[in-house]
Amino acid sequence: MNECSTPAQIKACRALALERNRQLFEEAHALNKAANELLETTPTDFERFEQYRALRKKADAKFEDAIDHLYVLNEDFPPIPAAVQNAVQTRRELETA
């Protein structure tokens, strides 16, 4: 996928994908928090507990999505080794000098 991409393009794509991954984790945390608050703020009965379980199920699914997304992200856009980044930066500095 990234054979023809420059290190800068790969880095930009990775940054965008990492931002989306951060959003997925935030959504999962928000669902988890809402589920916990549901139990803490209201008396627990069968219906309330089922609402809690439904929110937890959504949170768990979102966490799984975020983790799967991170695996794919790291396969498609592996971190660029520092040595490669330094070589590219040095080349650019020499070209502009």
- What is the signed CA dihedral for 17, 19, 21, 26, rounded to 10 degrees? -170
Let me know: does 16 contact 8? Beta carbons within 8 Å.
no
Spatial distance between the Cα atoms of 18 and 10, rounded to a whole number of angstroms: 12
Instruction: Summarize pLDDT for 23-71 with one digit per residue, the tens.
Output: 999 999 999 999 999 989 878 899 999 999 999 999 999 999 999 999 9
Decide: pTM greater than 0.75.
no
10 Å Cβ neighbour count for 66?
Answer: 19
* Of residues 10, 7, 4, the one with CA closest to residue 75: 10
